[in-house]
Every structure is written in C-alpha cells, then in structure tokens.
Structure 1
Amino acid sequence: MALAPWNSVLAPPRSLVASPQQLPFFSLSLPVSSSTCFLLAAKRTDVAMGTSFSFIASAFSSSSSSSSTNLSTAGFDETAVDALGNVQVLTSSTGKPAFLKDLWDQEEGIAVVALLRHFGCICCWELASELKELIPRFDAAGVKLIAIGIGSPDNARILAQRLPFPLDYLYADPDRKAYDVLGLYHGLGRTFFNPASTKVFSRFSSIRKAAANYTISATPDDKSSVLQQGGMLVFKGKELLYARKDEGTGDHAPLEEVLNICCKVPVA
C-alpha cells in the first residue's frame, strides 16, 4: 500500500489550566462524569464574548503557533493501514457490525475516515457538525464520509438525534479498535495539557453551535475512552492519500486541507 505523509505536530507540553478569574467571560469546565469535555459557558453578551474570546485566543497564540506542521511517516506503521480494513465498527442505526474495508470501494473509491473523540465530548460534536455541513460537497464529488466515534450505537444515536447528524454516515467503535490499530494518541497529557488543545479557543462560534443541544449523556461507560484522541484519513481505494493524528483535544485536521485532497482526486 502506498502511503502519503502522516501529518505530525510535536511540541513540549504546557499546562492549559485557567481559573475563572483568568477567564472572566468564560468558564472552562471539566464535567465530573466525563472528565474530558471542554465546555465553554458564556457569561456575557455575544459582543462581549467575542471581544473576550479574541483576547483569550491571542493570549494562547504563542503556544499554538509554535507547533509547526511537519509531514513525516516516522512512528507510523505502514501495516496499520492494512489492518484497519479488518477492524469492525458498529452501524449507529442498527448496531450491526461492519468491516471498514466494506464501507467503500477498495479499488477506486474515495473515502474520508474521520475518527472522532468519544460521543460525549463537545469537540466530537463540533467536528461532527462541521463534517455534516460538508456532506453535500462530499456527495457531489463521489466521496464517502465515514465518521467513527467512541462509544456504543446508543451513544452515537444521542449525538445523531440532538446535533443532528445523519445516521448513515455515523459509526461506533466502543472498544477503540480502529484507534488502537492506528496508534492514535491516548492519555491524560494529550487530553488536557498539550498546546494543540488551545486551538479550541479560536473556534468559539463552531463550539457554541455544536453545544446548542449538547448532552453529556452520550459519554461512553468506559471512562478511559475519554482520554482518547482522534484522527483523519483520506483513501483512494486502499491507497492512503492523507493521514493526520489529533495532537490534543480539539486539534482537528483542517477540513479545507481534507477537501483539497479528497475532492480533487479523479474518480474512476
């Protein structure tokens, strides 16, 4: 299998802990039952929130901008992509298992495989919301969107119903098999203390939109799942065109980057 570079961003850890006094217009809270979802609770008017949010994003810009994009396959096992096809995920509508390799044409089909965080994470809801907006473009280009989240099909349906998100594009991976095969990041440091996580401060509008009907009840029973980061892959058949690991919570692949790959590849 031919591999395109794995997009890796490596930076030294830095604490992101802030007190309500340091963030006067927002509270950055970590729900006890989930322990990993970023919830931005507005405390002022929209105008004031926007002003404060710009200030906060600016304050963190030194940490997020210091992480440059390095294209590399270092640390990525080529056999992992082959193994991914044999991973079974569960359809969100019926809970029936399906091999990933059966979800798109393995000869010439173009597929975007988005590995979200757990279904109870607001950053998962945000990315799902943004992907939903791109479905017409994916469909028009003949691209298959496969969005996979961590949790049960019941957890997936909560997100699908409340966000909303179309069930036909959504899959559940309760045991994180796809994540483990690909070696996606997991752990406390990546979840809370990686500088890449500060990117959520620059996306207040999309976070707030996703949080409109958000509920923490979509969190999986396995609480270790809340420490799992996601990633993004683009395939043409079995060929990997693009792959990126999320360095921290909310460090999603730039979707324009994904579109430039998947929607400009000729479809046979």
Structure 2
Amino acid sequence: MADEKVDGLACKGEETVVDFDKLHDLFVYDESGSSLRFSDIYKHQKTIIVFTRHFHCFVCKDYIEDLGTVPPEYLQAADVGIVAIGPAPFKFIKSFKEETGFNYPLYTDPERKVYKALNLQEKMVHGDGKNNKHVKQNLFMGSLKSTWNALKVGEFEGNIKQQGGGFILGPGDVVHFAHIDANSLDHTPINDLLEKAGVAPVSFPKDKRD
C-alpha cells in the first residue's frame, strides 16, 4: 500500500492511523528540560522514531543500545534521522543515554501526551522473547534487575504499564510505517525499520546481515 495523506490523517497498512492534527501542538523535552514541538522532529526529514517503555525496562535498553549502533553514514546516505522518545521525566535522559551508549536524539514525554495521541497501549503485557532480535539478557534475571534498579532510584522512570512503538514519519505529515507494540517484547526489528526507511541494514548477533 502506498503512503497516504488525507484530511490531516496519514496511514500505512492496517496496523494504526496517525492523526497529525493531534500531534502538531504536542511537545517533548530534551535533557535540559527545553521543549520541542513533536512535529518538528520529522518536519524536514524522514525520521525513524522509537517510543520506549519506562527507562528501567531492560528490553528497551537492549533495543536502544542496538539502535544506537546504526552508523551515521548509513543514515546520511539515505537522508534519514533516528530519534527515541521515552515516557520518563527529562532528568533521566542523561543516565539512560550513558547506560545504552545511544548518541542520537533522545527526548521524553513524561505526561505521555504523544503516546496517547498515537494510541500506544497502556497495559501490563509481557511477550515471548523467542523472536525478539535484540534482547541480550535472560528475561527472568533482566526483570529482577529492572525492579531492583527502580527500587534503588525510588521510581520506575516512567509508567510501568506503558508500551512503546516504532514509526517512520516525514518529511512533513507522511507515514511510511507505523507499529504499536502489543507487549514489552513486540519491538519492530531494527533492520525492518531501516529497510522500510531506505537505510542499509546492520548485522546484529541475532539478526545477521551481509
């Protein structure tokens, strides 16, 4: 199905519909707490946008760690950007980037207004990690570690029920791909995102590519 844009609505496939009219007046926050209009992220460039779960989620950390290994020259060659957004307060951006080595833009949506506008799911559902291309840790031990880290900090750094998603938007109000995660392990494989965005693939341990 070709990309479509009709009366403020852009859609791709049957998975989800993006209502850009709802998104134009919503903001996300950077590491310093400065606000950025969400629609400015994809205004001038096709952009892969990944929405994470709370910042203690070990599955999300593994995924964002791999996302951060996409070579900048691959993105430059395709004129594509990468951005990640989390549901945590902006004060946790710095530590999350340090833990994951993610050097692309990372913003937060602490009130989850963008999450809600995109209909990302708010329910506690854990999936099967067998087909996940990016989980590096044992699921049981990873869950224990996530809980322990949250207890040490005193908060979960985001709503623990919130699920994420993956989108390819822009330039402007155009959807190239949209996926709403059904559970905590339902991430779109990074190479699938890259392929749909026209970016060369990357070889990951669980997803070998030439």
Q: Please give the range of the TM-score, normalised by the shorter of the 2 chains.
A: 0.7 to 0.9
State the distance in 1 between where 2:51 and 2:92 align. 15
Superposition misfits of 4+ residues, deviation over 6 angstroms: none
Which amino acid in 2 is paired with 1:256?
N
Match of 1:4 in 2: 12
Contact map agreement 2:42 2:170 (CA 8 A) in 1: no
State the distance in 1 between where 2:110 and 2:22 align. 18
Match of 2:33 in 1: 95
Which structure has more helix as a fraction of its residues?
Answer: 1
What TM-score do the two structures reach when normalised by structure 1? 0.60
CA RMSD of aligned residues (A): 2.7
SS of 1:3's equivalent in the other structure is strand
State the distance in 1 between where 2:134 and 2:66 align. 13
Give the CA deviation at 1:78. 4.5
- Residue 138 and residue 249 in structure 1: after superposition, are their counterparts in 2 closer, same or farther (change >3 A)? same
State the distance in 2 between where 1:115 and 1:165 align. 14
- Residue 177 and residue 254 in structure 1: after superposition, are their counterparts in 2 closer, same or farther (change >3 A)? same
Q: Decide which of 160, 176, 181 is 1:226's aligned counterpart.
A: 160
Paired residues for 1:87-236 under 5 Å: 87-92=26-31, 94-106=32-44, 109-136=45-72, 137-166=74-103, 168-188=104-124, 191-192=125-126, 197-199=127-129, 206-207=136-137, 215-216=149-150, 217=153, 219-220=155-156, 225-236=159-170
What TM-score do the two structures reach when normalised by structure 2? 0.75
- Residue 243 and residue 175 in structure 1: after superposition, are their counterparts in 2 closer, same or farther (change >3 A)? same
State the distance in 2 between where 1:112 and 1:184 align. 16
Contact map agreement 2:30 2:108 (CA 8 A) in 1: yes
SS of 2:187's equivalent in the other structure is coil
Which amino acid in 1 is paired with 2:26?
V
The percent identity for this pair of structures is: 22
The runs of 5 or more residues in structure 1 that have no matched partner are 6-71
The runs of 5 or more residues in structure 2 that have no matched partner are 200-210
Rg comparison, structure with higher value: 1
- Matched positions, count: 181
Match of 1:66 in 2: none
SS of 2:96's equivalent in the other structure is helix
Deviations 1:20-68 (A, max 9, x none): xxxxxxxxxxxxxxxxxxxxxxxxxxxxxxxxxxxxxxxxxxxxxxxxx
Which amino acid in 1 is paired with 2:197?
C
Contact map agreement 1:115 1:147 (CA 8 A) in 2: yes
Match of 2:203 in 1: none
